[in-house]
Amino acid sequence: MYGIGTIVNAGAVIVGGLAGTLLRNGISERYKKIVMQAIGLSVVFIGISGTIKEIVTIVDGNKLDRQYIMLMIFSLVIGGLVGEFLRIEKRLESLGTWFQKRIPDKGGSFSDGFVTASLVFCVGAMAIVGALEDGLSGNPSTLFAKSILDGVTSLVFASTLGIGVAFSAIPVLVYQGGITLLSGVIKPWLSDAVISQMSLIGGVLIFAIGINLLEIKKIKVGNLLPAVFIPVFYYIIKMLFM
């Protein structure tokens, strides 16, 4: 059954988020703070390791393909401009606020939990590659593995950020489900180079999420989301006109 991986993934986020919310009331504020710092550091590490992994794949001897890195920079800049124009992060926050008015989340910001968890679960190599595998070959194994990771992560997130984390299952369904449904259409353009480039940008964005969690600097990661898909358009244009 195509798409089952995304459904299981969303279910794991909901279960983990609800369980974490129940635990939240029993955790004092100082413990919540150290947990958030631990999560932030972990996310930064995941982002760095993912980025390095993709860079290593494009090393030829001791020489790095400059065009590959330039495409990453170009994608982040263009994607950021598109995301800023569409106000993606603002819309995510507004959606979180809309939910919060109907489901009060005492002692925390529903929107913060919703936006942060949505970005963490949607940005990254496993989300992209897993959704593509599910759509192209009906193989949900990568998304099943991601479901376990996301379930545990949502439990920890919700223990400090609240019930908003559980509702991040909605963007997961839309984002990964959309990639799965569109995979057949974009299959001709999805070379290993394109997927690797998308994963590299995903790693950079995960690193940025970690920076936000550590409160070092507020980065509008939501507005940078379109950057993940710029390599697809780049290679389509390259194949058509070059």
Three-point CA angle 198, 200, 206, nearest 5°: 105
DSSP of 65-134, one letter per residue? -HHHHHHHHHHHHHHHHHHHHHTHHHHHHHHHHHHHHHS--TTS-HHHHHHHHHHHHHSSHHHHHHHHHH
Distance, CA of 204 to CA of 153 (rounded, Å): 19
pLDDT tens, residue order, the chain (242 aa):
667 889 999 999 999 999 988 887 666 777 777 877 888 888 888 778 777 776 666 555 444 566 778 888 999 999 999 999 999 988 888 888 888 777 765 555 788 888 889 988 988 778 888 888 888 878 888 899 899 889 988 988 888 888 889 999 999 999 999 988 888 777 777 777 788 888 888 888 888 888 888 888 888 888 998 998 899 888 888 888 86
Q: Is the pTM of this model over 0.75?
A: yes
pLDDT at 61: 45
Question: In which domain, by residue range, is 37 found?
Answer: 4-241
The total number of structural domains that make up the chain: 1
- CB of 140 closer than 8 Å to CB of 12: no
